[in-house]
């Protein structure tokens, strides 16, 4: 069995590991914010509420990335709606299940300047990547602060008894 040495707190390498953990926390936070922005992209312009009808589903077979997964089907509802006397058709994001019945009425929010741009408020939003990234960021940040505290305490730069810094 290979032996690994534990981190010796208070050494320069422990501060480097702490710095790496802080960078990881910041990158995970940025990824979470980016996922949130992508999820909300274009929704600010969609201010007009219209009623659409689900007329059919478009299906797409997705191939697995590797041999551990199997192929699966995603479904995209095709909506028909009217706005300013014109009839429009559109699809929203793919889902792994059919969320609405064919013929069902669904409320859409669309951009009055570009009626082809819409979103379905009642569709289950995929907030998973955003939540995962933000959770990883929070856990990493807490870990990094713990590592920093251990490193400072072991180096003698932090006095436990008085709860403050001491000069060396």
CA angle, corner 144, sides to 143 and 149, nearest 5? 100
Stretch 115-123: mean pLDDT: 82
CATH number of 43-119: 2.40.50
Residue scoring higher pLDDT (161 or 22): 22
Residue 142 in this model has a pLDDT that exceeds 70: yes
Alpha carbon distance 49, 110 (integer Å): 6
Residue 93's closest CA among 71, 115, 111, 108? Answer: 108
Bridge partners of residue 119, in order along the sequence: 109
Residue 137 in this model has a pLDDT that exceeds 80: yes
Alpha carbon distance 19, 141 (integer Å): 11
0.75 exceeded by pTM = no
Residue 115 in this model has a pLDDT that exceeds 90: yes
Task: Note the pLDDT tens digit of each residue in 3-57.
Answer: 666 667 777 887 888 888 888 888 888 888 877 776 666 677 889 999 999 999 9
Task: Note the pLDDT tens digit of each residue in 75-104.
Answer: 888 999 999 999 999 987 777 677 889 999
pLDDT for the residue 157: 67
Alpha carbon distance 156, 93 (integer Å): 55
pLDDT for the residue 145: 86
pLDDT band at 72 (very low <50, low <70, confident <90, very high): confident
Scored b (16 or more CB within 10 A) or e, 104-131 reads eebebbbbeeebeebbbeeeeeeeeebe
Alpha carbon distance 86, 39 (integer Å): 28
pLDDT for the residue 5: 67
List, in order, residues 6 or more apart from 124 with CB less than 8 Å away. Answer: 95, 99
Residue 73 in this model has a pLDDT that exceeds 90: no
Beta strands in the chain (DSSP E): 48-62, 72-83, 86-91, 105-111, 114-119, 158-159, 164-165
């Amino acid at each position: 069995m290979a032996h690994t040495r534990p981190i010796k707190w208070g050494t320069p390498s422990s501060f480097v590991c702490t710095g790496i953990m802080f960078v990881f926390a910041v990158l995970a936070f940025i990824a979470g914010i980016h996922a949130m922005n992508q999820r909300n992209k274009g929704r600010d312009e969609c201010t007009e509420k219209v009623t659409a009808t689900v007329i059919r589903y478009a299906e797409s077979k997705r191939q697995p990335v590797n041999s551990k997964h199997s192929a699966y089907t995603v479904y995209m509802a095709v909506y028909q709606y009217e706005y300013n006397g014109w009839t429009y058709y559109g699809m929203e994001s793919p889902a792994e299940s059919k969320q609405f019945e064919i013929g069902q009425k669904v409320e859409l929010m669309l951009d009055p300047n570009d009626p082809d741009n819409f979103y379905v408020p009642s569709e289950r939003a995929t907030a998973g990547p955003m939540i995962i990234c933000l959770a990883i960021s929070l856990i990493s940040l807490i870990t990094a602060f713990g590592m920093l505290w251990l490193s400072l305490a072991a180096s003698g730069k932090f006095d436990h008894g008085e709860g403050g810094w001491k000069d060396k």
